[in-house]
C-alpha cells in the first residue's frame, strides 16, 4: 500500500512540475507559425541556438549562431531592446534559451514552432 502512495505522490509531483514549467514557458516566449516568423524576423534579431555543426549544415537566411550551450557567456551579444526570434532543431533548446533570456531581462522573445526541422523557407548552407 505504501508503494502505491509513493508512486502516486511521484506522479503528482511530475504533473505539477510540468504544469509550472509550461506556464513559465508561455510567459517567456511567444510561439510563432512559420508564416508569422517570416513576417517579423527580418526586423528582429534572428538567433539559431543549435550547435555550430548543425548551423553549418543549413540555417535560416540571416540567422546568427549563438548555441544554447554558449548562451550564458554570449547572451550580451543580443540586444534586450529589440525583438529576439529564436529557433533550434525542434523547439526544446530555443524554449530553454527563452526562459534564460527572460531571467536576464529580455521581454520580446519569439520562437519558431516546430523548429528548423519543419522550416520550408529559404536556407543557407556552407
Q: What is the DSSP string of 85-125?
A: EEE-SSSHHHHHHHHHHHHTT---EEEETT-GGG--S-EE-
Catalytic residues: 88
Whether residue 8 is contained in a domain is answered as no
pLDDT for residue 17: 55
Whether residue 2 is contained in a domain is answered as no
Whether residue 79 is contained in a domain is answered as yes
Is residue 4 scored above 90 in pLDDT? no
Confidence of residue 28 (pLDDT cuts 50, 70, 90): low
Phi-psi region of 112 (alpha: psi -120 to 50; beta: other; left: phi over 0): beta
Confidence of residue 35 (pLDDT cuts 50, 70, 90): very high
pLDDT for residue 27: 58
* Domain of residue 68, CATH code: 3.40.250.10
Q: Which three cell numbers stand for residue 29?
A: 516566449
pLDDT digits (tens, 9 = 90+) for 67-111: 999 999 999 999 999 999 999 999 889 999 999 999 999 999 999
Whether residue 88 is contained in a domain is answered as yes
Whether residue 38 is contained in a domain is answered as yes
**Which comes out higher in pLDDT, residue 40 or 20?**
40
Mean pLDDT computed over every residue of the chain:
87
Residue span of the structural domain in which 54 resides: 29-124
Whether residue 94 is contained in a domain is answered as yes
* Count of domains observed in the chain: 1
pLDDT for residue 29: 77
Burial (0-12, 13-18, 19+ Cβ within 10 Å), 68: buried
pLDDT for residue 115: 94
**Which comes out higher in pLDDT, residue 123 or 24?**
123
The residue behind cell 508564416 is: 35
Whether residue 19 is contained in a domain is answered as no
Question: How far is the C-alpha of 121 from the C-alpha of 60, rounded, in Å?
Answer: 8
Is residue 7 scored above 80 in pLDDT? no
Whether residue 15 is contained in a domain is answered as no
Amino acid at each position: 500500500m505504501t508503494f502505491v502512495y509513493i508512486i502516486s505522490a511521484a506522479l503528482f509531483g511530475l504533473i505539477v512540475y510540468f504544469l509550472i514549467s509550461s506556464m513559465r514557458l508561455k510567459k517567456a516566449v511567444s510561439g510563432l507559425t512559420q508564416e508569422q516568423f517570416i513576417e517579423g524576423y527580418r526586423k528582429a534579431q534572428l538567433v539559431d541556438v543549435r550547435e555550430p555543426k548543425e548551423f553549418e549544415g543549413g540555417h535560416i537566411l540571416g540567422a546568427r549562431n549563438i548555441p544554447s550551450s554558449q548562451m550564458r557567456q554570449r547572451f550580451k551579444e543580443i540586444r534586450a531592446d529589440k525583438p529576439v526570434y529564436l529557433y533550434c532543431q525542434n523547439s526544446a533548446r530555443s524554449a530553454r534559451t527563452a526562459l534564460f533570456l527572460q531571467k536576464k531581462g529580455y521581454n520580446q522573445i519569439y520562437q519558431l514552432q516546430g523548429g528548423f526541422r519543419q522550416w520550408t523557407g529559404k536556407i543557407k548552407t556552407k
